[in-house]
A and B are shown apart, each in its own frame.
Chain A
């Protein structure tokens, strides 16, 4: 057994990868596309396959020192340049610096008469010329099915395509061939039959007026890959895929503690507060102070110098700043110092997957120590039937791997205190704080208790939560202790 291991390791490293530079995709594929091989990227019109291919070329040229050739069968060079300019890619500059070569191949069938035997050497000559001119290491053919419209003899075309893919392999070029999705097949002309190494399918669905994009690795020879669909996002920075960050629960549990923002609550948690890198759920009915809790937690994070990223789905940042000022929390100061970053999104602007992709990207860019999502309810409500839990598992895992302390607020409804949340997310959370309204003797008050907190001996008392101009405080231990003795955590 001991001898077998290095051999296995060697086999794993033998399959060299060419990074795409696309966030998430390289993690999914264990490093990128198979180097020196042809990969197929397929999907319906508008699914993002051309963009994926173009990003592969641009990142290759800019980041990995691998010049690339794009043979485009559908759009002129000018159009292509204009299309990706909005993503901040300056193709003209790359072309000038011989990092990129574009060739628009166009066949006007009506102009052409066939009179005897032929092959597609013209295409080979053009590709070889382009590759030689810039010493290319990467090639994109986007999308070859246009040839089926231009060449009448499909038997010739098929054998020529096979020859073309073989030529790419022989010349050690890492290539992406794109193909339009067929009715029952991955591509209309069965291109997947010719491509043995890597096939990626993209999908763009609209359910309940919310569009979601998904990516699936159909096959990848020699690489263990998930067969799940992974949501991805196209925004002003291009494509990013939300990967599963950990297939196993291997994140390191930190022993360091961070303040909850409320001294008395810290006191309830062994006098030290949350564990750094843990995830905290705050649930409560409307008006119980969830957002104030979250804002207070963010303020405390900034005060100790932690970078905090605050996602809000209900209020604009300025609204939050104003509201929190009224309860004695000056968040503006931290925004100005660059320690607090707000990200406001409309829950319905995109699907759950889209939101998660945005969250992933923002976290990857800012690298915060603390993340607040206020409230997570809205994410759940946009998701329709798709498995909310698996998406949230990915998010929570991602945060834990990054050792980010996170707080999620969740709105519960009267009469339905915890069930909905409990089913979806509570098991993922290390700490669960419950807020509730109570009217003993006709005087309304807010109450707080810690329902669970893993890895610590926390207090099970119910305390009054006092939100005033002076900020958040806890009142005395309430005598009407009504919490069921819920033994959570270990």
Chain B
């Protein structure tokens, strides 16, 4: 895992189906590593070229926890499109992630 953020260049698309995602972790714990791997897989499959993912390690930037009201780790925040949605856990339940991010309609 390199640094604290992974950025994908988006292919310009209409605003509403572009996803901005932020995954909060606290250190490289097994759950966090699993979450990153799971999330990447889902995004590649469902959102190819239509998303930007940022991983925030709260051990490095604890002050960022407040803004998105992070309590559980890992927490994935869908910042765009609105409304804001949060998914907590290591994202191993793929169906829940797809439902939580509202990816069925994004297709």
Contacts and interface: CB of A to CB of B under 8 A. Distances in A.
Contacts of B94: 115
Interface in A101-122: 103, 105-108, 111-122
A417 interface: no
A117 B72 CA distance: 10
B69 interface: yes
Contacts of A121: 26-27, 29, 58, 72-73
B87 A117 contact: no
Nearest to B92: A116
Contacts of A103: 66
B45 to A, nearest CB: 15
Taking residues whose C-beta sits less than 8 angstroms from the other chain, chain A's interface range is 20 to 34
A122 B100 contact: no
A224 B52 CA distance: 61
B88 to A, nearest CB: 5
Contact of A126 (B65, B89, B90): B65
A107 B69 contact: yes
A123 B86 contact: no
Contacts, number: 104
B9 interface: no
B1 interface: no
Contact of A115 (B27, B62, B84, B88): B88
B71 interface: yes
Given A113-B100, A114-B96, A126-B62, A105 B69 contact: yes
B6 interface: no
B65 A119 contact: no
Contacts of B92: 115-117
Given A113-B96, A115-B100, A118-B72, A125 B86 contact: no
Contacts of A113: 85-88, 96-97, 99-100
Which residue among A112, A123, A125 has the maximum number of chain B CB atoms within 10 Å of its CB?
A125
Contacts of B74: 118
Contacts of A218: none
A107 B90 CA distance: 18
A115 B69 contact: no
A121 B70 CA distance: 9
Nearest to B24: A122
Contacts of B70: 122, 125-126
A116 B65 contact: no
A135 to B, nearest CB: 15
B26 A116 contact: no
B57 to A, nearest CB: 10
B62 A118 contact: no
Interface string B69-107: 111111100000001111111111110110110000000
Given A113-B100, A116-B35, A105 B86 contact: no
Interface string B33-54: 0110010000000000000000
A428 interface: no
B88 A114 contact: yes
B66 A126 contact: yes
Contacts of A120: 71-73
A118 B92 CA distance: 11
Contacts of B34: 116
A454 B36 CA distance: 83
Contacts of A129: 62-63, 65
A379 to B, nearest CB: 49
B26 A115 contact: no
Contacts of A114: 87-89, 93, 96
Contacts of B73: 118-122, 125
A151 B69 CA distance: 13
Contact of A151 (B31, B35, B72, B100): B72
Contacts of B75: 118, 122
Contact of B90 (A108, A116, A150): A116
Given A115-B96, A115-B100, A117-B92, A105 B35 contact: no
Which residue among B34, B69, B72, B85 has the maximum number of chain A CB atoms within 10 Å of its CB?
B72
A231 B93 CA distance: 53
A122 B63 CA distance: 11
A216 to B, nearest CB: 32
Closest 3 CB pairs between A and B?
Answer: A113-B100, A116-B89, A129-B62
28 contacts: A105-B69, A107-B69, A112-B86, A113-B86, A113-B96, A113-B97, A114-B89, A114-B96, A115-B87, A115-B88, A115-B92, A115-B94, A115-B100, A116-B38, A116-B91, A117-B90, A117-B92, A118-B75, A120-B72, A121-B29, A121-B73, A122-B65, A122-B70, A125-B59, A126-B71, A128-B62, A129-B63, A151-B71
Given A115-B90, A118-B89, 14 more contacts: A106-B69, A108-B69, A114-B87, A114-B93, A116-B31, A116-B91, A117-B31, A117-B90, A118-B75, A119-B31, A120-B71, A125-B65, A125-B73, A150-B71
Interface of A: 103, 105-108, 111-126, 128-129, 147, 150-151
Interface of B: 24, 26-27, 29, 31, 34-35, 38, 58-59, 62-63, 65-66, 69-75, 83-94, 96-97, 99-100
